[in-house]
Amino acid sequence: MAKITLDDVTKRFGDGGEAVVAVDEISLDIEDGEFVVFVGPSGSGKSTLMRIVAGLETQSEGDVAIGNTVVNQLGPRARDIAMVFQNYALYPNMTVEENMSFGLKMSTNLSEEEVEEKVTSAAEMMGIGNLLDNRPGELSGGQQQRVALGRAIVRDPNVFLMDEPLSNLDAKLRASMRTEINRLQNDLGVTTLYVTHDQTEAMTMGDRLVVLNYGELQQVGTPLECFYRPANQFVAGFLGSPSMNFFEGSVEGGTLRADGFDYDLTQQMQSSVGKRNEVVLGARPEDITIHDQSTADTGFEAVVDVVEPMGSISYVYLQPTAQETDQTFVVETDGQRPISESQHVAVEIPGDDVHLFDTATGETIHQRRLDSEAEVALNEQM
């Protein structure tokens, strides 16, 4: 078991003006036994950071420590880390048992019996005890990924690094493996760094999220903290599906003039806005309501562009009707509610459950209201 400390870690590829900054001055303390999920879009530096921790890549600047030891000069083998990748790279000519025991036989002095015991117990844990004599080609994708995880477990490492390990699996299997990795990490208590570009995995898996964009750290926090208290517009838009709706607008007194509608700012919002002339309003699809136009006396008018029925809910894509506009937004509605394309509705964006962002920097200047119990729970996490 070990804590991990990143201190101002930077990685540049290439020289001078051509250089790509893949990882940009990342500092982070990961506790012993913690499950931390690194999330961000493709190219945000997640894999590079994992490879630096593993010792497969050398940082341009900064220090990496595992436990209390700075490991900058240590090779991958000396770091006592087990990695699981998207391409799990099992040896095709070896059986499952041989695949799982190979690393142990190479790197330890364990006896045959000890190796067998470890492999059997890891295989049981991963539910592949009956497949030990099979070769990878005879296994499904999910079973192969279990072998790869089992191979990492038998190493009994200080740290697990997992880089998009579920990307090659179909949606259903991905969901069940998510649960399984959660349970496994819980049981083993091994410090785990898990990389994904998938916001669902990020929300459901880690103790903490590290949100990255362009190699820069955007926010570190529990999943719910990042979701309900996003540090900036990027985090707000990245977590949640469909994404938070953003409405750019100019501020005139107590009113935000957005593209296609006016929105009344509360006193509290007005003081958050301060002297800014422009801000971005953010509202999640589940917080906006649509009413039958004939009965509504508040809100603004919009026309339904597309309806995506999901079953229990529907996603309704809309456009304000007031003027020619490119603004579109999405609202979550009850799946049983009849609604059709081209229908006109009245839209209500709530006064409390919205965020405001600085238009220039993207920084959050106003956070949504939370239920008081949620507020307390979240403050305890922070």
Binding site for Mg ion (CB under 5 A): 47
Burial profile 280-305: b = 16 or more Cβ within 10 angstroms, e = fewer: bbbbbbebbbbeeeeebeebbbbebe
**Residue numbers 39-78 binding ligand ADP by CB under 6 A:** 40, 42-48
Look up residue 79 and give its two tokens: 């770091």
Choose among ligand ADP, Mg ion, none what residue 20 binds, the Cβ cut-off being 5 to 8 Å by kind. ligand ADP
Supply the minimum distance, in Å, between the C-beta of residue 46 and Mg ion.
5
Supply the minimum distance, in Å, between the C-beta of residue 151 and ligand ADP.
22
The verdict on 199 binding ligand ADP (CB under 6 A) reads no
Instruction: Give the other-Cβ count within 10 Å of 61's Cβ.
Output: 12
Give the interface size with ligand ADP as a residue count (CB under 6 A). Answer: 11
User: Is 88 or 261 the residue whose CB approaches ligand ADP more closely?
Assistant: 88
**Residues 346, 348, 354, CA angle at the centre, nearest 5°?**
155
**Residues 281, 283, 285, CA angle at the centre, nearest 5°?**
150
Supply the minimum distance, in Å, between the C-beta of residue 194 and Mg ion.
12
Q: Which of 181, 99, 105, 165 is nearest to 137 (CA)?
A: 99
User: Is 121 or 167 the residue whose CB approaches Mg ion more closely?
Assistant: 167
Q: Which of 217, 242, 240 is nearest to 229 (CA)?
A: 240
Supply the minimum distance, in Å, between the C-beta of residue 214 and ligand ADP.
8
Part of the chain binding ligand ADP (CB under 6 A), chosen from 36-44, 69-77, 136-144, 179-187: 36-44
User: Is 44 or 333 the residue whose CB approaches Mg ion more closely?
Assistant: 44
Note if the bond before 242 is cis, omega within 30 degrees. Answer: yes
User: Is 47 or 359 the residue whose CB approaches ligand ADP more closely?
Assistant: 47
The torsion angle over the Cα atoms of residues 213, 216, 217 and 223, rounded to 10 degrees, is 10
Supply the minimum distance, in Å, between the C-beta of residue 68 and ligand ADP.
27
Q: Which of 93, 83, 34 is nearest to 57 (CA)?
A: 83
Mapping DSSP to helix (H, G, I), strand (E, B) and coil, where does residue 278 land? strand
The verdict on 87 binding ligand ADP (CB under 6 A) reads no
Q: What is the Cα–Cα distance from 316 to 334, expressed in whole angstroms?
A: 10
Supply the minimum distance, in Å, between the C-beta of residue 43 and ligand ADP.
4
DSSP 233-245: HHHHHHSSSSPPE
Burial grade of 209 (CB within 10 A; 0-12, 13-18, 19 or more):
buried
Choose among Mg ion, ligand ADP, none what residue 40 binds, the Cβ cut-off being 5 to 8 Å by kind. ligand ADP
User: Is 21 or 74 the residue whose CB approaches ligand ADP more closely?
Assistant: 21
User: Is 42 or 298 the residue whose CB approaches ligand ADP more closely?
Assistant: 42
Q: What is the Cα–Cα distance from 254 to 271, expressed in whole angstroms?
A: 10
279 membership: H or E segment, kind and range: strand 278-283
The verdict on 20 binding ligand ADP (CB under 6 A) reads yes
User: Is 6 or 356 the residue whose CB approaches Mg ion more closely?
Assistant: 6
Site string for ligand ADP, 325-344 (x = CB under 6 A): --------------------
Choose among ligand ADP, Mg ion, none what residue 48 binds, the Cβ cut-off being 5 to 8 Å by kind. ligand ADP
Supply the minimum distance, in Å, between the C-beta of residue 235 and ligand ADP.
16
Choose among Mg ion, ligand ADP, none what residue 44 binds, the Cβ cut-off being 5 to 8 Å by kind. ligand ADP
Residues facing residue 249 across a β-bridge? 258, 279
Supply the minimum distance, in Å, between the C-beta of residue 71 and ligand ADP.
19
User: Is 234 or 357 the residue whose CB approaches ligand ADP more closely?
Assistant: 234
User: Is 47 or 101 the residue whose CB approaches Mg ion more closely?
Assistant: 47
Spell out the residues 6+ positions from residue 174 whose beta carbon is closer than 8 angstroms to its own. 166, 201
Instruction: Kindly list the residues in this chain that would bind ligand ADP in the complex (CB under 6 A).
Output: 13, 20, 22, 40, 42-48
